[in-house]
Structures are given as structure tokens and as C-alpha cells.
């Protein structure tokens, strides 16, 4: 059954500005090393950073009650499988929340263009409905 749905849209220039202004300290606060390596390896890296940012926000929205949980940005990691399809890995407090909510599967889809990046996330739970 569907436990939660989250969506988010990010303006690419905001990520670009933040990276320009705060550099590595911003990047390492928000993104894991694997996310940074992946995005920096792409031609339009800011779009990939923006999409990952949107996906993290979409995960939080899908849970719906994140204020009670001090999740770090890097606890939600956006990776790609060998086909390029995005997957989410949970760490530390985000993993605890996922387990507590008995979420069994997380589905994510992302798209990005010159100006915007969007992500949709669905949290699934075992059960009928």
C-alpha cells in the first residue's frame, strides 16, 4: 500500500548560487560524497544537484511529519543504478524513521532542465489497499 507521496521542484539557479556562495561546506552539508561525485561528473552538474535536493525534500514530504525527526540531508542519499535509474538509500536517523514507519520500498523519479529540477517520491508499505 502507499504510505506517502512527496513532490518537490527546485530552481537550478538557487543551487548554483548556494554552491558559488558557500562552496564545499554547503555541498558536504547537503550531499554525500557519492552524490557530489556523480553530479560533478555530469556536464550540467547544477541540474543534478538540484534534482537530488528536490528528491531529498520529496522524501521528507512523503513522510509528512519530519519536524519531529532531526534528519540530516546526507541521511537521505540519491544514487543511480546501472541503468541510470535513481534509487534512495537511507542512513542513520532517516533509516530509523523508515523502519519505524515500516516503509518497505521507496520509488523515486526525477527530471531536470536548464532552470528547474523536480522529483516525485512514493513510500510503499507491505499490506493490502
Ligand X SMILES: CC(C)(COP(=O)(O)OP(=O)(O)OC[C@H]1O[C@@H](n2cnc3c(N)ncnc32)[C@H](O)[C@@H]1OP(=O)(O)O)[C@@H](O)C(=O)NCCC(=O)NCCS
Nearer to ligand X, 55 or 71 (CB): 55
Is there binding between residue 80 and ligand X (CB under 6 A)?
A: yes
* CA 47/CA 16 separation, integer angstroms: 9
Check binding of 37 to ligand X (CB under 6 A): no
Q: 96 in helix, strand or coil? A: helix
- Site size with ligand X, rule: CB under 6 A: 10
Q: How far is the CB of 35 from ligand X (least distance, A)?
A: 10
Contact at 8 Å (CB) between 27 and 36? yes
Kindly tell me which of 98 and 112 has the beta carbon lying closer to ligand X: 112
Residues 81 to 100: which contact ligand X by CB under 6 A?
83-86
Could you give the CA distance from residue 13 to residue 112 in angstroms, rounded to a whole number?
12
For position 115 contacting ligand X by CB under 6 A, the verdict is: no
With respect to ligand X, which residue has the nearer C-beta, 7 or 80? 80
Of 116, 24, 34, 110, the residue nearest 76 (C-alpha)? 34
Q: 52 CB contacts (<8 Å, ≥6 apart)?
A: 31, 35, 39, 78, 110
Taking CB under 6 A as the rule, does residue 110 contact ligand X?
A: yes
Quick one: which of 39, 12, 44 has its CA closest to 27?
39
Query: Rounded to the nearest whole angstrom, what is the least distance from the CB of residue 41 to ligand X in the complex?
Result: 10
Q: In the complex, which residues of this chain contact ligand X (CB under 6 A)?
A: 48, 51, 80, 83-86, 110-112
Amino acid at each position: 500500500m502507499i504510505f506517502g507521496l512527496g513532490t518537490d521542484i527546485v530552481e537550478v539557479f538557487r543551487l548554483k548560487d548556494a554552491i558559488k556562495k558557500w562552496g564545499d561546506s554547503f555541498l558536504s552539508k547537503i550531499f554525500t560524497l557519492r552524490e557530489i561525485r556523480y553530479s560533478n561528473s555530469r556536464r550540467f552538474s547544477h541540474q543534478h544537484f538540484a534534482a537530488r535536493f528536490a528528491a531529498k525534500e520529496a522524501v521528507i514530504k512523503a513522510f509528512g511529519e519530519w519536524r519531529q525527526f532531526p534528519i540530516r540531508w546526507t541521511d537521505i542519499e540519491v544514487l543511480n543504478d546501472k541503468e541510470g535509474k535513481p534509487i534512495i538509500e537511507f542512513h542513520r536517523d532517516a533509516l530509523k524513521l523508515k523502519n519505524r514507519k515500516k516503509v518497505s520500498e521507496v520509488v523515486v523519479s526525477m527530471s531536470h532542465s536548464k532552470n528547474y529540477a523536480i522529483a516525485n517520491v512514493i513510500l510503499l508499505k507491505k499490506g493490502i489497499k
